[in-house]
Amino acid sequence: MGTSLTERVRPEWIDYNGHLTEGGYVFVFGYATDALMDHVGMGAEYRRTSGRSLYTVEAHVRYLDEVREDADLRVLTRVVGAGSKKLRLCHEMRVGGALVATEEIMALHVDRQQGRAVVFPEDVAASLAAEVEEVPDYAGRAVSG
């Protein structure tokens, strides 16, 4: 299962070391979250009419390999937990099949007008529940030295 996104690395995302900037990885992962939102019924129209969206409240990124300009990225997004108001996702970024980065996020379903987390609508909750997969082995880890 899961959703996928393809994106080509843009020149403006390249840092002074000649590879994808740290924030560039997160930027692309954000696009992948948007693709998942579209897939489960929380696309642009939903956000516009309901005033609700996902807010990332915690993230853990692992940078596993350098990514060069013009690389073709593929991001697989997995729903690994879905509660009444929160969502846990894992993104896996690949270049040519090689895993180059992962991101695990915890997001809340927020009503912007109320300024707080609210319960997912029944149809969205059902879509999310149908997407839940096993948690990958890299998820839930802390930063270590």
pLDDT digits (tens, 9 = 90+) for 82-117: 999 999 999 999 999 999 999 999 999 999 999 999
User: Which tokens in the block code for residue 126?
Assistant: 């059902």
Give the residue extent of every domain in the chain.
Answer: 3-131
In sign, the C-alpha dihedral spanning 105, 31, 42, 117 is positive
Which CATH number, 3.30.70.1230, 3.10.129.10, 3.30.590.10, 3.40.630.30, labels domain 3-131?
A: 3.10.129.10
Whether the full predicted model's pTM is greater than 0.85, yes or no, is yes
The dihedral built from the CA positions of residue 25, 103, 4 and 47, taken in this order, carries a sign that is: negative
Contact between 134 and 79 under an 8 Å Cβ cutoff? The reply is no
Taking the mean position of all CA atoms in its chain, how far away is CA 47? 17
Q: What is the pLDDT of residues 15-69, one digit of tens each?
A: 999 999 999 999 999 999 999 999 999 999 999 999 999 999 999 999 999 999 9
